[in-house]
């Protein structure tokens, strides 16, 4: 049963059986490992995406196994191609009462969009989530806050796709629609509210940090970074890198060490939201030098400006529309968005899936372009 050379070895060297045994075991083990790698793939293989000029070492390295892990929410995404638009087809604004947005769509495409929104936002409650249980005769009513919020969210989605392509379509056309944030939930999972001060036992700087909060990503960093930078539009910056600088800390244009900690808190939040590290946007040898950043830095800067507009122009003004149970637990403020609301741990929401291709109605505030 054993090879002839193995039997001859044992015959000539009856006491030295370990040499050939080790050799056979090593070769056999190598064959098994090779077979496993061929069949299952290299579990520690990496893939690099260049994020800066060639030769600078500016690249984002990720495990291939993590890159290929599919976002679990993708499988539940609903889409449907537009219906051909026939000349003279009835429009939603003429057929239905109180259609304030999307009124220029044909009846068929309007109903198609409404069905999609139902699947994206309220798959369990169905149409009743916005229109109530009274039947078709109640659909024109604005009694439910959900309908008024939905109307405004459609306008926000159109604005993002129309005016913020530099961010949402930086790599390729992907766009956004309701599912980008909601993922089948009535309320997106990664909204945020104002929390600071975090208690009444401390005043000043101690009242914004060293507490476990989502806003600080469960670190000791400040919990007011999102409200400071994504709501109040305060300048993002860190303290001077030189010592004994002649500056006034009461000057709003002077970045203090508190501003530096807030900046680190925001950057930590952004990194976790996109599933990347600092060098995705920055050059590690010169974080402060805007001339050495990566292209992703500009994309993220546009994203911050976009979220500022979303919060201040669309989300915060809805405070009086929401019922009390939808408002923040500390300040009673309206829910707001940030990077994680859309990205949910991936460089691109839904791993770069084009969610606007079938929905030109949500891509513009004007008349949709059907191909």
Positions at the binding site: 114, 127, 130-131, 153, 167, 178, 181-182, 267, 278, 281-282, 339, 342-343
pLDDT in tens, the chain (371 residues): 667 777 776 777 665 556 666 777 777 788 877 776 666 666 677 766 666 666 666 666 767 666 667 889 999 999 999 999 999 899 999 999 999 999 999 999 999 999 999 999 999 999 999 999 888 888 999 999 999 999 999 999 999 999 999 999 988 899 999 999 999 999 999 999 999 998 777 777 778 888 889 999 999 999 999 999 999 999 998 877 777 788 887 887 788 888 999 999 999 999 999 999 888 888 888 887 888 888 889 999 999 999 999 999 999 999 999 999 999 999 999 999 999 999 999 999 999 999 999 999 999 999 898 87
Residue showing tokens 């109180």: 98
Please give the structure tokens belonging to residue 98: 């109180």
pTM (global) more than 0.95: no
Please give the structure tokens belonging to residue 290: 């805007």
* Residue pair 177/204 in contact by the 8 Å Cβ criterion: no
CA separation (Å) from 326 to 224, 278, 319? 21, 34, 9
- Angle at Cα 156 formed by Cα 151 and Cα 158, nearest 5°? 100
- Output the pLDDT for position 203: 76
Residue showing tokens 């309206």: 334
Q: What is the dihedral of CA 96, 150, 306, 353, to 10 degrees?
A: -90
Pairwise CA distance, residues 139 & 132, whole Å: 8
Positions at the binding site for heme: 114, 127, 130-131, 153, 167, 178, 181-182, 267, 278, 281-282, 339, 342-343
Cβ contacts of 148 within 8 Å, gap of 6 or more:
142, 318, 321
Pairwise CA distance, residues 185 & 187, whole Å: 5
Pairwise CA distance, residues 155 & 157, whole Å: 5
Structural domains in the chain, sorted by start: 4-41 (no CATH), 72-166+360-371 (1.10.468.10), 190-343 (1.10.468.10)
Please give the structure tokens belonging to residue 330: 């500390």
Pairwise CA distance, residues 340 & 268, whole Å: 12
- Output the pLDDT for position 16: 59
């Amino acid at each position: 049963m054993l090879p002839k050379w193995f039997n001859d070895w044992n015959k000539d060297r009856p006491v030295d059986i370990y040499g050939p045994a080790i050799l056979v075991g090593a070769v056999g083990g190598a064959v098994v490992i090779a077979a496993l790698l061929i069949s299952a793939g290299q579990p520690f293989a990496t893939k690099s995406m260049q994020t800066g000029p060639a030769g600078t070492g500016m690249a984002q390295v990720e495990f291939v196994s993590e890159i290929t892990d599919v976002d679990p929410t993708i499988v539940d995404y609903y889409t449907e191609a537009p219906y051909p638009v026939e000349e003279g087809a009835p429009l939603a604004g003429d057929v239905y009462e109180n259609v304030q947005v999307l009124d220029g769509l044909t009846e068929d495409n309007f109903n198609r969009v409404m069905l999609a929104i139902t699947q994206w936002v309220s798959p369990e409650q169905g149409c009743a989530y916005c229109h109530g249980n009274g039947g078709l005769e109640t659909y024109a009513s604005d009694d439910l806050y959900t309908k008024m919020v939905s109307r405004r969210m459609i306008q926000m989605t159109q604005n993002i796709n129309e005016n913020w392509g530099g961010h949402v379509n930086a790599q390729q056309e992907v766009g956004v629609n309701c599912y980008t944030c909601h993922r089948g939930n009535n309320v997106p999972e990664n909204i945020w509210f104002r929390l600071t001060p975090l208690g009444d036992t401390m005043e000043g700087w101690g009242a914004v940090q060293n507490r476990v909060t989502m806003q600080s990503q469960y670190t000791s960093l400040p919990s007011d970074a999102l409200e400071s930078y994504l709501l109040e539009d305060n300048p993002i910056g860190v303290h001077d890198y030189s010592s004994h600088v002649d500056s006034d800390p009461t000057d709003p244009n002077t970045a203090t060490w508190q501003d530096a900690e807030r900046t680190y808190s925001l950057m930590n939040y952004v990194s976790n939201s996109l599933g990347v590290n600092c060098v995705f946007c920055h050059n590690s040898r010169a974080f402060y030098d805007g001339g050495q950043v990566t292209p992703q830095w500009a994309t993220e800067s546009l994203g911050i400006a976009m979220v500022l507009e979303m919060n201040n122009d669309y989300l915060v003004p809805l405070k009086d529309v929401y019922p009390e149970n939808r408002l923040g637990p500390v300040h009673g403020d309206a829910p707001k968005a940030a990077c994680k609301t859309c990205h949910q741990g991936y460089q691109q929401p839904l791993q770069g899936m084009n969610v606007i291709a079938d929905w030109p109605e949500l891509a513009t505030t004007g008349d949709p372009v059907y191909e």
